[in-house]
């Protein structure tokens, strides 16, 4: 059987399994085992364990459960509520200030949790009811939180960036730096659109009438600043050469747990120690899920390579005598469509090993491409049929229909598309900071 026929057969089998609800790790593993059987016959079992173990034996993978633990600890506390209240006091004099407060809280909480669903849930539980109580339409209230939550996979520390770094053997520290400026650029784009939309609809007028004294504004900061300092310390330890990503993640997780216990457990007394087992349970569940996907995707990639599918695809695309930006456009469309159906981790692990040689061969930077890929995945989080953030918002605000949430999210999708265009025109938006701090990539 030719590589093309084998590739089509494996893709049909994979999407068929996903369509009937098979978990992505098991779908990848089953299809990979079928592909390896075509190459090695029953003897493929001899390499099965070795490939799976190799995929999850990297020390850098330790950073994934540690960053997930860091996010789970913060998500278990009222930190999201405090972030939201603090920003509301500082931004209430701006048109649509309450929506801006939620977007700002999403961007900061994203840096703490590294998870889009966790960000949506933590900020949305307080933000959506408050926005609706002050007269904001359900579409704007839900759409802004759904879009703001997507920042969790771009603003560092990001689990998605760690997975990309492991899959492509690129520097995780440099990837974090590459995502920092684009992450805040998207936040600014979101805020600009929000101000325009709120001004056009005359929203947020009750916010303007509400005043906070400087004392009230500063009073909201003490519970928020320690967590921001943890993020700064984690990033400084990474870029200052003090610690590896795994070490920085471990220290960050420990300090987040301590801050939650001290600030909310001992002083504020609105957090119970009985939540600790829940934190570790949630961390374990998500970590195991990601590790299974990583192991299965490595097996899938090995099967593709054994059948010469990867090499044939790369050669076929390389043989296309097209402008590099036409190639990039095709790749972006492919990633966008893949993001509609698959979670970010799955898309990255399945496609990055194949696409990176093509992208670098066309003269593009792999760290810049990581940011472009991640923004495509962000769009997938707020678009059907998967649209994980849409379902998270619907779960915390069931009276808002999925159609309303989607309509509210679409303007922010256009902001993300604008962000991708800006990155394509000005790659230094992503590359300036890592090149400045860590020097040019070799």
Is 6 domain-assigned?
Answer: no
Is 115 domain-assigned?
Answer: yes
Is 23 domain-assigned?
Answer: no
Residues 396, 128 contacting (CB under 8 angstroms): yes
Taking the chain (442 residues) in runs of 10, the rounded mean pLDDT of each run is 76 83 85 84 76 75 83 81 78 75 82 75 81 84 88 82 87 89 92 85 62 77 80 76 79 87 82 87 86 82 75 65 81 83 80 83 90 91 79 85 88 93 93 86 66
Residue by residue, DSSP assigns 55-104 as: HH--GGGGHHHHHHHHHHHHHTTTHHHHHHHHHHHHHTTSTTHHHHHHHH
Is 1 domain-assigned?
Answer: no
Is 18 domain-assigned?
Answer: no
Residues 157, 114 contacting (CB under 8 angstroms): yes
Q: What total of structural domains would you count in the chain?
A: 1
Is 369 domain-assigned?
Answer: yes
Query: Residue 199: which of 100, 120, 303 has the closest Cα?
Result: 100
pLDDT at 210: 65
DSSP class of residue 239?
A: H
Residue 254 in tokens: 């420990």
Range of the domain at 142: 31-438
Is 326 domain-assigned?
Answer: yes
pLDDT at 427: 93
CA angle 391, 333, 139 (to 5 degrees): 30
Query: Taking the chain, what is the end-to-end CA distance rounded to the nearest angstrom?
Result: 39
Residues 253, 234 contacting (CB under 8 angstroms): no
Query: Residue 378: which of 407, 421, 335 has the closest Cα?
Result: 335
Is 25 domain-assigned?
Answer: no
pLDDT at 413: 92
Q: Express each pLDDT in 180-220 by its tens digit.
A: 899 989 989 998 888 888 888 777 555 555 677 778 778 87
Sign for the CA dihedral angle at 290, 237, 364, 158 comes to positive
Query: Residue 372: which of 310, 431, 290 has the closest Cα?
Result: 431
- Residues 60 and 246: their CA atoms lie apart, in Å, by 6
Q: Express each pLDDT in 260-305 by its tens digit.
A: 888 888 887 778 888 889 889 988 888 888 888 888 877 887 787 7
- Residues 151 and 153: their CA atoms lie apart, in Å, by 5
Residues 393, 120 contacting (CB under 8 angstroms): yes
């Amino acid at each position: 059987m030719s590589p093309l026929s084998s590739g089509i057969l494996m893709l049909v089998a994979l999407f068929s399994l996903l369509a009937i609800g098979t978990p992505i790790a098991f779908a990848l593993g089953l299809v990979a085992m079928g592909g390896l059987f075509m190459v090695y016959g029953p003897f493929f079992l001899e390499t099965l364990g070795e490939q799976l173990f190799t995929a999850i034996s990297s020390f850098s993978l330790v950073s994934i459960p540690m960053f997930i633990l860091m996010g789970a600890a913060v998500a278990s506390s009222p930190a999201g509520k405090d972030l939201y209240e603090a920003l509301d006091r500082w931004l209430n004099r701006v048109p649509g200030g309450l929506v801006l407060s939620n977007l700002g809280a999403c961007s900061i909480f994203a840096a703490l949790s590294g998870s889009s669903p966790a960000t949506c849930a933590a900020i949305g539980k307080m933000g959506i009811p408050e926005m609706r109580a002050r007269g904001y339409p359900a579409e704007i209230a839900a759409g802004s939180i759904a879009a703001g939550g997507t920042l969790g996979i771009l603003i560092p520390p990001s689990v998605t960036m760690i997975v990309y770094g492991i899959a492509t053997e690129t520097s995780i520290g440099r990837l974090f730096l590459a995502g920092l400026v684009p992450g805040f650029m998207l936040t600014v784009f979101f805020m600009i659109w929000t101000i325009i939309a709120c001004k056009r609809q005359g929203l947020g007028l009750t916010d303007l009438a509400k005043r906070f004294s400087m004392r009230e504004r500063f009073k909201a900061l003490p519970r928020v600043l320690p967590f921001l300092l943890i993020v700064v310390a984690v990033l400084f330890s990474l870029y200052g050469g003090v610690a590896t990503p795994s070490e920085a993640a471990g220290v960050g997780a420990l300090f987040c747990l301590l801050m939650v216990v001290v600030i909310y457990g001992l002083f504020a007394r609105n957090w119970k120690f009985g939540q600790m087992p829940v934190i570790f349970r949630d961390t374990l569940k998500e970590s195991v899920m990601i590790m299974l996907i990583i192991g299965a995707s490595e097996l899938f990639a090995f099967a593709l390579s054994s059948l010469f599918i990867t090499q044939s695809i790369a050669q076929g695309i390389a043989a296309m005598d097209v402008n590099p930006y036409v190639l990039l456009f095709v790749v972006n469309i492919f990633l966008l469509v893949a993001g509609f159906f698959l979670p970010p981790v799955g898309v990255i692990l399945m496609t990055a090993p194949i696409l990176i040689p093509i992208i670098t061969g066309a003269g593009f930077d792999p760290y810049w491409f990581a940011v472009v890929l991640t923004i495509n995945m962000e769009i997938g989080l707020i678009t059907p049929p998967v649209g994980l953030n849409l379902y998270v918002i619907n779960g915390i605000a069931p009276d808002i229909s999925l159609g309303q949430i989607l309509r509210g999210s679409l303007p922010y999708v256009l902001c993300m598309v604008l962000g991708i265009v800006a990155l394509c025109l000005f790659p230094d938006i992503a590359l300036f900071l890592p090149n400045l701090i860590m020097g040019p990539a070799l």
